Structure 1
Amino acid sequence: MKFSATLALAAAGSLAAAEHNHRRGHAHHHKRDVATATTVVDEVITVYQLDGTPIPVADVCKGIKDGDYKWANGAGPAHACDPVATSTSVSVKAHQFLETSTSSAVPTTSTVPTTTAVPTTSSTPTTTSTTSTSTSTTSISTTSSSAAASTTPASTGISGGTGLTAPFPDGELSCDTFPSDYGAVALDYHGLGGYSGIQYPTMNALGTLVQSIVTAVTGQSCTEGAYCSYHCPPGYLKSQWPKEQGATGQSVGGITCTNGKLHRTNTEYDTLCIAGVEGITVKNTLGGTVSACRTDYPGTESETLPLEVNPGSIENLANPNGASYFFWENKQTSAQYYLNPVGFGADKACVWGTAAYDLGNFAPMNMGVGFSDGTTYLSLFPNKPTTDAQLKYNVKIVGDVSLSCSYVYDGTNGMYYENGTPKSAGCTVGVPQGGSAQVVFY
């Protein structure tokens, strides 16, 4: 019997910066802990992953050599980093892991293309890994992300979202039916049957904690025992996440497939989508679409939830109420968005990306929003340490704000400003309950 072995990389991502800028401490660190899949196949396939997104063994080995990664169990598979292993798969035992080195003062993330033995989303560069030498293809245009903005809205494969107030019928819909009639928005470009992310959990012996998680890749589906996360319309957040969360800080979100039918995991809410705190919008005065991609949290914690802001349009931001939304280790949580270069739709921007493009998790700017104790906190800050890329348009926050906060690109460099004072780490405003604020792209 042979197995496919997936070696996972755990990284905290860039939310350290979000917590720093959310001065009331209501943001959280996204811990990306991913488990492995064990599948009987004709040959052994080894895949190294970050948040369920595979990465090449060559880059894994370089990361280990440079001290960026380490083997979680103390040692990697024999000969994994021999020269031949950088281009061929290696037979290993399942359930071996990679994680970021604890010697680093800040969390690190993978900065390499993905590789997988199964199909991946068509909007990111991919390589196919088998027991023979790998070959590579790319499906993103080679045009730089700093290219001239598109003058028309992007086309992306986002549909559904009707029936926002309709109670979800537990145990009635087949697991192969996406619940688009109950508020959920289908994201077909992810290739997960409309879902934004799917997690296959392994529970502890008591069934009270999720011991490990396998994250679905393109072509997989919401099957028995899976947690299936979904997107909601602008200004709304998903209401479903189970009480049983990760034993080591992993987050789990979505509805679940049980006995072939879809069920809620959080019975406090009858509907799949709930409104965020109102009053926070984003406006695009540029000539092309801007994709603001929100982290799927609780869930896979990848920036897969799209908000496409087309030229001349205004959209609501999903602003979670910290007192009633998901708690991580007894702490309130907020929402994080990735602001992408102009001219890219969600199918290119709101996916797990690579360092070759300033898109997705490599987008130049982060935006945090959350409500706590009568105040919404709204932040703009660089996507450090993931990337040094700069957004090539301006951003400002206007409205009922406690101070001025903006980002200005002068054609060569970009800088954040708080009340007119340069702030390289970004800036945060407070918006009182009942007030409003708008993030403007210009």
Structure 2
Amino acid sequence: MRASILALTAATTASVALAQPHKHQHAHLHEMNKRTQTETSWISGPTAYAFMLDGKSISVDEVCNGVASNKLKWADAAPAGLCSTSASASSRSDATSASSTAASTSGAAKSAAAFYQNSSSRGPSSAATSTVAVSSASDAPAAASSWGAWNASGSGQGVDSAFPDGELDCSNFPSSYGAVALDYLGMGGWSGLQAVTFGSSAITHIVTGISGETCTEGMMCSYACPPGYQKSQWPSTQGSTGQSVGGIQCKGGKLHLTNSALSPNLCIPGEGGVEAKNSASGVVAICRTDYPGTESETIPVELQSGETNQLANPNAGTYYTWQGKGTSAQYYLNPIGTSASEGCHWGTAGSNKGNWAPINFGVGYKDGKTWLSIFQNKPTTTNKYEGTVEIQGDVSDKCIYQNGQYCGATGCNADGCTVAVNSGTATFVVSD
């Protein structure tokens, strides 16, 4: 899915200026089927918007009604069709689903793109959310010491070690350099595989690897990092029609860095200041999309009951950009009792797992602010999450999912809520 930003600023007296969006977005279609049918393609979908005014969330209805009654006004050109009859349904369905990355008063948006199989069954909906947040260097996460039984082959050791560029055979998963092997995916520990064809100025053909394959010549081979860390490697040349590509490359039989200018390490810390806590009675799996890359929800944070761990918080100004625009992180929250090996991969319709998980988290940092969201995984599913999720800490507003509703300062809705982090660490608390 795409994420876009709309900044909302307060005007003097009774009027409000709605600033033109600084959009941070991505939307890609990754077909998952037989090996010969996994060519990656891309389509765009309708864009939906969320807004914040003076640090408070307001709905699309409030924006459109305010504009219609002349209580609000556009600072620049109005987003096309935002308040029209034809656009209102799709816009309002995701009104508060993405986290914001504009200034201190800002809003967010995401659009409805999804993943499809060749059989035309609907697959995952991977929304990127832009964000901005208050956190300091002291919040940088430490490597996780335990990731669960499924991670017996590597838990992020050596996360601060420089990768020996061009020295390791492609058959060697780099677990001694911070990468965490995801054995349950059946791809030799890699989180995603993309066989690519380079054109004169862009990657013109992408074939997504499946279980049973591993990193071989010419592939971009993506990897997971410990909680709070994010991969640092992706090629500057990306897909010709908007697809993202990520990981290190198998070239000449050896593994090569693709973004050494960003870091010689495979994993780098995010901005910190964001955690998840499991206060539920069973295991909880929170799965980040492997982005840039296949955008499948394969990057896990698994929490046993009572455990707390970091979530990666990318800086939109220094991390991966899509078509020149900053991006942030999206997570899928699986049902309570679902392990990472069960939930952090391509799911099946109606399972409430993987890309079909009912709830997404948006996490990101820009210009000194962290923005966090809890939102419905639309248009993939309208199923309700059986549990409670609340963002706790010194945050700008209330944001809680409970009894099938997302509630903030302006009330409850079926779409989502967004807050900014004022100071310290904010925590997504999951409970029964």
TM-score normalised by the chain length of structure 1: 0.68
Is the 1:378–1:430 Cα contact (8 Å) retained in structure 2? yes
Cα pair distance change 1:404/1:245, threshold 3 Å: same
Cα pair distance change 1:422/1:113, threshold 3 Å: farther
Shift of 1:219: 1.1
Is the 2:28–2:113 Cα contact (8 Å) retained in structure 1? no
Shift of 1:35: 11
Shift of 1:376: 0.5
* 2:15 alignment counterpart: none
* 2:424 alignment counterpart: 435
Indicate which of 29, 34, 41 corresponds to 1:32.
Answer: 29
Q: Deviations over 1:284-334 (max 9, x none)?
A: 111111111100000001111111111000010000011100000000000
Matches within 5 A, 1:381-396: 381-396=375-390
2:258 aligned with 1:279, yes or no? Answer: no
CA distance in 1, matches of 2:7, 2:218: 36
- RCO comparison, higher one (Cα < 8 Å, 6+): 2
Is the 1:198–1:222 Cα contact (8 Å) retained in structure 2? yes
What SS does the aligned partner of 1:379 have? strand
CA distance in 1, matches of 2:6, 2:288: 17
Deviation >6 Å, runs of 4+: 20-24, 103-106, 111-115
Is the 1:404–1:420 Cα contact (8 Å) retained in structure 2? no
Matches within 5 A, 1:325-404: 325-404=319-398
CA distance in 1, matches of 2:407, 2:6: 13
2:237 aligned with 1:228, yes or no? Answer: no
Indicate which of 160, 175, 180 corresponds to 1:185.
Answer: 180
CA distance in 2, matches of 1:22, 1:192: 42
Shift of 1:222: 0.7
Q: Deviations over 1:232-255 (max 9, x none)?
A: 000000000011111111101000
CA distance in 2, matches of 1:284, 1:300: 28
Is the 1:322–1:370 Cα contact (8 Å) retained in structure 2? yes
Aligned residues: CA RMSD: 2.8
Shift of 1:22: 9.7
TM-score normalised by the chain length of structure 2: 0.70
Cα pair distance change 1:312/1:27, threshold 3 Å: farther
Structure 2, gaps ≥5 residues long: 9-20, 42-86, 91-110, 121-146
Q: Which amino acid aligns with 1:437?
A: A
Q: Which amino acid aligns with 1:425?
A: D
Cα pair distance change 1:390/1:25, threshold 3 Å: farther
Matches within 5 A, 1:147-186: 155-157=149-151, 159-160=153-154, 161-186=156-181
> What percentage of aligned pairs have identical amino acids?
47
Is the 1:305–1:350 Cα contact (8 Å) retained in structure 2? yes
Cα pair distance change 1:337/1:264, threshold 3 Å: same
Q: Which amino acid aligns with 1:172?
A: E
Cα pair distance change 1:110/1:214, threshold 3 Å: closer
Indicate which of 203, 212, 223 corresponds to 1:210.
Answer: 203
Q: Deviations over 1:43-66 (max 9, x none)?
A: xx89655869xxxxxxxxxxxxxx
Shift of 1:425: 1.8
Shift of 1:258: 1.0
Is the 1:198–1:227 Cα contact (8 Å) retained in structure 2? yes
Q: How many residues align?
A: 325
CA distance in 2, matches of 1:379, 1:51: 28
CA distance in 1, matches of 2:305, 2:367: 34
* 1:143 alignment counterpart: none
Is the 2:399–2:407 Cα contact (8 Å) retained in structure 1? yes
* 2:411 alignment counterpart: 421
Cα pair distance change 1:382/1:26, threshold 3 Å: same
Is the 1:192–1:221 Cα contact (8 Å) retained in structure 2? yes
What SS does the aligned partner of 2:418 have? strand
Is the 1:154–1:344 Cα contact (8 Å) retained in structure 2? no
Indicate which of 237, 241, 246 corresponds to 2:234.
Answer: 241
CA distance in 2, matches of 1:260, 1:232: 23
Q: Deviations over 1:355-399 (max 9, x none)?
A: 131100000001100001110110000001101111100000111
Shift of 1:279: 1.0
* 1:76 alignment counterpart: none
Indicate which of 193, 196, 200 corresponds to 1:201.
Answer: 196
What SS does the aligned partner of 2:181 have? strand
Matches within 5 A, 1:57-76: none
* 1:137 alignment counterpart: none
Q: Deviations over 1:69-88 (max 9, x none)?
A: xxxxxxxxxxxxxxxxxxxx
CA distance in 2, matches of 1:112, 1:34: 5
Is the 1:232–1:273 Cα contact (8 Å) retained in structure 2? yes
What SS does the aligned partner of 1:181 have? helix
Deviates further, 279-288 or 156-165 = 156-165
Matches within 5 A, 1:282-293: 282-293=276-287
Structure 1, gaps ≥5 residues long: 1-14, 37-44, 53-102, 116-152
